Structure 1
Amino acid sequence: MIESEVKTQTLSDVRTYRLARVQAQLQRHRCPAILLYDPVNIRYATDTSNMQIWTARNPSRYIMVFADGRIVAWEFHRCEHVWQGLDLDVELRSAVSWIYFNAGDQTESRANLWANEILDAFRTHARGESRLAVDRLDPIGTALLVKSGLTLLDGQAMMEDARAIKSAGELVLIGESLRACEKGIERMRRELRPGMTEQALWANLHFENIRHGGEWIETRLLASGDRTNPWMHECSSRVLQEGELLAFDTDMVGPHGYCSDISRTWIVGDARPSDEQRRLYELAWSQVHFNMDILRPGMTFREYSEKAWKIPEPYLKNRYSCVAHGIGMVDEHPSIAHQVDWDSAGYDGRFETGMTLCVESYIGAEGGSQGVKLEQQIVLTEHGCVPLTTCAFETDWL
């Protein structure tokens, strides 16, 4: 097969696999259908994409997937073409938007029209049933469907569980996203120099993502100097200075809608890292690699949290929000709480072969002037973690 044929077959296999995963969740929960508004869930189930960021804020396209694989899709105004070329059993309708932007003072009447269409589609294909899963829905829509006699189930949980295990084809597509992200990181590294702004450096990642067919970047997490502590400063017009730390987290939704989530920390300019910078880096590197080394299929989330690398006391308050988290089209289930946070934020479950995950670290002392952010994206195999990216660490700092 030539490369284009292989890619077409991979996409076809992935589409079939993902829709089957959604169907399996519906069958498992004895639910005849799921109503999806989240653009990422719609992409997962159908591989259609239409203004994903805009429609995430302005609910204007939605689909209903039935347990037998049939789909009713309400598409944005005159955008039926986004469904062309897909081998799906789909009935296309025009979306009814009742958000204030589109409906103004007609919100109530538009919402009633919307509810009638939802009920018509559901009752046509799920005769006698009343259980409908929904991933997200504004209050007026929820109230109208409940008033009509439907019992609404947590569709977001079903979709997260569906998305958790990746097929071989998905790993190929994730790899394409990561290669685009690595190109962006390489470009950032080449362009990095004292005197440029954080924003100017960050633009290089966007450039390579779009150039390679990527889609968007979920955050703006790039910081330098004292803005690296605490973590979670978004990039600014601050000018980079020789010898200071520069840290970033890509959160990049690349080609085919899959996320590349890589964090690295560098030094600005040609300076050698100070003893303090090297110490912070070695601790962060140790946390990531220790936690990768112990992760195995069958381990529970609680067990992993309990066995995870112990953060030294000076850095505990500024710890990252989780030990590790799932990754696919975006950040996904599960999110593994630190042991110290388990009672307030932890939940249990079990790691499985085929999960793709990000192992996290942030090391920065409370009240400190700098910090190190690292993160590695992996796939979990029967033998443990396999890195999905070749993006280098600063091992000469160790």
Structure 2
Amino acid sequence: MSEDKVSPTPDGFVIRDNWSDLRQFRPMPDIDFERLDRYRKGRLRAAMRKADVAMCVLVSPITIRYAVDYNSYPLFQSHIPVTYLFLPLDGPITLHQGTVGHRSSADRSRTGRPMSFFEGGNELAEGARLFADDIVGFLSEIGATNRKVAVEYVNPSLTQALLQRGLEVIDAVDIVEGARVIKSEDEIACMRWACAVAEHGIARMQEAMGPGVTEAQLWGILNYTNLANHGGWHEGRMLASGPRINPWLQEATQRVIEPGDLIGFDTDMVGPFGYFCDISRTFYYGKERPTPRQRQLYRYAYDELQTNIKLIRPGVSMRDLQESAWPVPEEFRAQAYSCLIHGVGMCDEYPQVKPSFHGPVAYDATLEAGMVICVESYIGAVGERDGVKLEEQLLVTFDGYELMSNYAFDERLLD
């Protein structure tokens, strides 16, 4: 069965779906999940050792998945935290309040304390006191004399309770972000598969552009493809067309695609195995030739992308990247994309480099082999109808870079 010739059957888009599962057309990569798990725990504990902390308290669903491969109701957890993880430098990794039936690689599971108003209501202060007791008891159990604890995204009442027990509390965010920045061979394989799934969906989106099709319907094809391949969610519904493509960051609506429209999208996709695919393309819809201005905008965005990609190599500093970046013409600066590059892994990650006209680089760091980054461009002038969004995802290698995204650009707009 040829991937190019398969399309949704007219009498059953889902029930008789013969196209969405990418495994029909190409083998999944060979991923050693036990090795992947050991690598991620090792990275976290090495970062903890460097920060001289006894333990981390992890709350973000993405960080918990990175640490112990636990993935239950992640979007719910992101705004109503219920589950949390005790990750000690030495000792048993303990998952609290885990959902029954969902596996993890934690050493053990225990009940937990309320961490949100939804769970604790007016008893949050008492829950925080008991939570602090749990931390002190855990440190005693593992024989830790170090009283320094790193905590991720929690209520001030929890931090206050820990301080009242004589513990030193620091942010865990920089520890986990630093741990996640260098990807293993297995992580890279996961990300390649996520990109392949996204591009499988993009191809169907492009085929589906036609009379009467809405932005939301197009976006739904990408979302469905991700779910059909056991992927997660999209950080936003970043698809806009016609007059809604400028300015950027407008999410998909029920607007019907019209001839002559530019259609731009950004996948922002948590794909299979929890790894991200973050690429953007802009297509032209219609039988007539794109306008000279549409082609000019596309060429600008394409040139920005290609120029900045060529800067990517290990050892280059974030400040050098900013200073050497493609010079965005003045007319596009007010609506230029918020960053030139950013890291990516299980979501958008450190580092991030903004264009110089958006401010200085926030940290003194360099690119390293094993990072995965995205290079971005948005070109659209204030008050105009059209704009162009493009983005590539790539791996920083020992001698430069390797593209992870391979979807073709629109040749009619590059003409």
The offset of 1:239, in angstroms, is: 1.5
Q: 1:227 aligns with which of 236, 239, 244?
A: 244
What is the CA–CA distance in structure 1 between the aligned matches of 2:85 and 2:403, rounded to whole Å? 35
Q: Which structure carries more helix by proportion?
A: 1
What is the CA–CA distance in structure 1 between the aligned matches of 2:258 and 2:120, rounded to whole Å? 50
For residue 400 of structure 2, what is the aligned residue in structure 1? 384
The offset of 1:192, in angstroms, is: 1.2
The offset of 1:69, in angstroms, is: 6.0
What is the CA–CA distance in structure 2 between the aligned matches of 1:347 and 1:308, rounded to whole Å? 17
Is 1:350 aligned to residue 366 of structure 2? yes
The offset of 1:4, in angstroms, is: 10
Q: 1:167 aligns with which of 172, 180, 184?
A: 184
Determine if contact 2:262/2:283 at 8 Å carries over to the other structure: yes
1:238-265 Cα deviation digits (max 9, x unpaired): 1111111110001010100001101000
**120-129 vs 271-280, greater mean Cα deviation:** 120-129
Is 1:141 aligned to residue 161 of structure 2? no
Determine if contact 1:72/1:121 at 8 Å carries over to the other structure: no
Superposition map of 1:1-398 within 5 A: 7=30, 10-68=32-90, 70-76=92-98, 79-83=99-103, 86=105, 88=106, 90-343=107-360, 346-398=362-414
Which 5+ residue runs of structure 2 have no aligned equivalent? 1-25
**Residue type of the alignment partner of 2:311:** I
The offset of 1:80, in angstroms, is: 4.2
Determine if contact 2:230/2:271 at 8 Å carries over to the other structure: yes
1:325-370 Cα deviation digits (max 9, x unpaired): 0000000000101112233x64321110010000000000122111
Pair 396,268 (structure 1): closer, same or farther in 2 beyond 3 Å: closer
**190-199 vs 297-306, greater mean Cα deviation:** 190-199
What is the CA–CA distance in structure 2 between the aligned matches of 1:288 and 1:4, rounded to whole Å? 30
SS at match of 2:101: helix
Determine if contact 1:242/1:269 at 8 Å carries over to the other structure: yes
Which 5+ residue runs of structure 1 have no aligned equivalent? none
SS at match of 1:31: coil
**Residues paired across the two proteins, number:** 389
The offset of 1:112, in angstroms, is: 2.2
The offset of 1:19, in angstroms, is: 0.5
Determine if contact 1:192/1:269 at 8 Å carries over to the other structure: no
Determine if contact 1:32/1:126 at 8 Å carries over to the other structure: no
What is the CA–CA distance in structure 2 between the aligned matches of 1:268 and 1:122, rounded to whole Å? 61
1:143-199 Cα deviation digits (max 9, x unpaired): 111111111112100100100000111111111111111111111111111322111
What is the CA–CA distance in structure 2 between the aligned matches of 1:74 and 1:255, rounded to whole Å? 25
What is the CA–CA distance in structure 1 between the aligned matches of 2:134 and 2:383, rounded to whole Å? 56
What is the CA–CA distance in structure 2 between the aligned matches of 1:187 and 1:263, rounded to whole Å? 15
What is the CA–CA distance in structure 2 between the aligned matches of 1:190 and 1:55, rounded to whole Å? 36
TM-score normalised by structure 2 residue count: 0.90
Determine if contact 1:300/1:349 at 8 Å carries over to the other structure: yes
TM-score normalised by structure 1 residue count: 0.94
